[in-house]
Structure 1
């Protein structure tokens, strides 16, 4: 039986638009999307919702075949919809954890931005060696994106070649597990691995444990993850780039409402940037051998968004400022002052995108003296003002259907 939800318009007795939400509601991605739709509905009026909760392979229910509503939000393949709702003939917004190959009009996570965030996380922790394990056929693009961003950052990338092309890692595939173990053992350490999905990441952790490889000291692992529960249950807990699922739900509801009002279907693909990266134990590594640099980076990580100075860092570490700067420049490619500034700018970026704080509040929390200093430093480093950055990173990214969303 479908589940029903009504908004204030229906409760008040006025005409409401009938909307069906078609998806496998048990997945963490779907639950996040549903939460976002619910948030949008709480601020709006005029929808009567029926939830069709079913798996991808399940037949179309009779009620949906007979249904003559106004619009659909779908998390399933287009073939899972009744014929009149396929081919862009009526208002349908597609939502998936990944942009499908057929690029159905809808709203999806920006996979390129998510991979870039994961790669940057490893690079900022000193990793210059990357490993990539191809996933299922639908994940091939993600593997290629990891290689592109890692090589673009000047890193060396080694791609795992499974015994049979196109194979997906499974516990029952003993030859593949053995080949993966041999590959991991042969990689130059320390190495960072951006897993294609949660299942693959868990299997990589399992192989590391069986082979006695230390995570994260020898093998750091991060995943473009859809399931926070799986990441928390992993041993060690998995670092994940999190999709902004609730925002995808809100945007899907908004776009569907606009399409129904206009009387025509959506004809674009919108990509939502990731909510951020949840750093857990699997990537909590500092791939730097020099103990002075390690101590300095830990201090900057803890107090970088305060009035901490380069001189104070050197004094705390117990070496001269000049010597520490030389070491920093040689190993990290930047000075202590650069690292302090980078830390503050990173925090300012996070606050600009994730909060609606005023500029003065952002500047103080990020460790700047005032908004003027933030604006000057930010524009010099980033190439745009803080408010321009906020505006550029909050909206969804739109691509033309039939084009590649990868390169930015």
Structure 2
């Protein structure tokens, strides 16, 4: 799984900052329990393993153990510190992504895995708070990685039946990119147009699964490298004698990688839809509401009323929201200076950017970057 490659990169990056660290990588195929007995390491980061008994025995060989991505829960192991994605936050971010596009019909395709349940909980919460209902479709949890290569996922027929019964246009969150790719393929086979009839959002931003989907799959971005570095940091602190609580340390998503599968607006008012597209294409420039009205020549009062009716916010709010989303993406995913982030996101100068960002987000741009890039 590509997420584990990124987690390992994060662990390695942290270890490079510690002169006294030496890391060894074991796969589930290795006799890693015996290897741990032989090496007697000071710390262990427990990733994806299949055998709970073997994993429990491995944990007995090492004093300081930290799990990643819910492995302690999945395997039923004794409590230990674990670092994983904040899956409820993933679901909430996905729901808001669709609400911002005017959707009123929502679905979730997932499995019974704990991380999928948490994503569903966050997604459902935000959708219901907005006054809408959301349908849930669970398939065999063992098939969560089905659909790779040329094989059709065995649940395709059931999915076609279920999709056909959903109201359109439909906003659909898949529990991960593999499942998202399966849904795009099923829609193609069933003659359901993506994204106009069904907009699909995955999770993980796995570049291969996303670009192999037709159309390309939008996805919630999880900072897997940071999860790795956070896990390594917890092990390091424990080895230094600090008491590290046995709890889940959740790392929130950093944003959404937007591709073709959600490139649509579920808004019947053509003027509002045109205004939103203009804002999203030009918010990085010094535009205001007057520029929007020049691009979409309707009465300002009419535009304001229809915006609030359909989206619950004004055109000015939408410009600011798009700019903030762009700024968050640049802060979390690049090393650009604050003036450069301010310019590219449409705020003009760093001082104004910092003031607006702190007012809306509750922390400074530097604090936000530190929290997501640590």
2:368 to 387, 390, 399: 390
What RMSD in Å do the two structures reach over aligned CA positions? 3.2
Asked if the contact 2:107/2:173 (under 8 Å) is kept, the reply is: yes
Shift of 1:327: 2.5
Distance 2:321 2:134 in 1: 25
Asked if 1 retains the 8 angstrom alpha-carbon contact of 2:143 and 2:153, the reply is no
Count of paired positions: 364
2: distance between equivalents of 1:194 and 1:93? 30
> The residue matched to 2:219 in structure 1 has which SS?
strand
2:49 aligned with 1:72, yes or no? Answer: no
1:35 paired to 2:9:
yes
Q: Does residue 1:81 correspond to 2:58, yes or no?
A: no
What are the residue-to-residue correspondences of 1:290-305 with 2, within 5 Å? 290-305=269-284
* Distance in 2 separating the partners of 1:30 and 1:174: 23
Q: Deviations over 1:223-272 (max 9, x none)?
A: 12263311221111111112211111222222212222228776332111
* Structure of higher CA gyration radius: 1
Distance 1:255 1:380, change over 3 A: closer
Give the distance between the partners of 1:128 and 1:99, measured in 2 at CA.
37
The partner residue of 2:220 within 238, 241, 253 is: 241
Q: Does 1:92 align with 2:65?
A: yes
In structure 1, C-alpha distance between the alignment counterparts of 2:100 and 2:34, rounded to whole Å:
53
- Given that 2:173 and 2:201 are in contact with CA atoms closer than 8 Å, whether structure 1 keeps it comes out as yes
Are residue 110 (structure 1) and residue 69 (structure 2) matched? no
Superposed displacement of residue 206, structure 1: 2.2
Report 1:267-282 matches (<5 A). Answer: 267-282=246-261
Q: 8 Å contact 1:242–1:275 — kept in the other structure?
A: yes
How is 1:190-269 mapped onto 2 (pairs within 5 angstroms)? 190-225=169-204, 227-262=206-241, 267-269=246-248
Gaps of 5+ in 2: none
C-alpha separation between the residues in 2 aligned to 1:340 and 1:349?
14
Query: Structure 1: how far apart are the matches of 2:317 and 2:105?
Result: 23
Contact 2:220 2:253 in 1 (8 A): yes
In structure 2, C-alpha distance between the alignment counterparts of 1:265 and 1:234, rounded to whole Å: 41
* Structure 1 segments unaligned to the other structure (5+ residues): 1-26, 397-408
SS in 2 for 1:180: helix
| Contact 1:259 1:265 (8 Å CA) reproduced | yes
Shift in Å at residue 173 of structure 1? 9.9
Deviation at 1:367, TM superposition (A): 2.0
Normalised TM-score (structure 1): 0.78
Partners of 1:90 and 1:265 within 8 A in 2: no
Q: 2 CA distance for matches of 1:173 and 1:302?
A: 37
User: CA separation in 2, counterparts of 1:99 and 1:291?
Assistant: 50
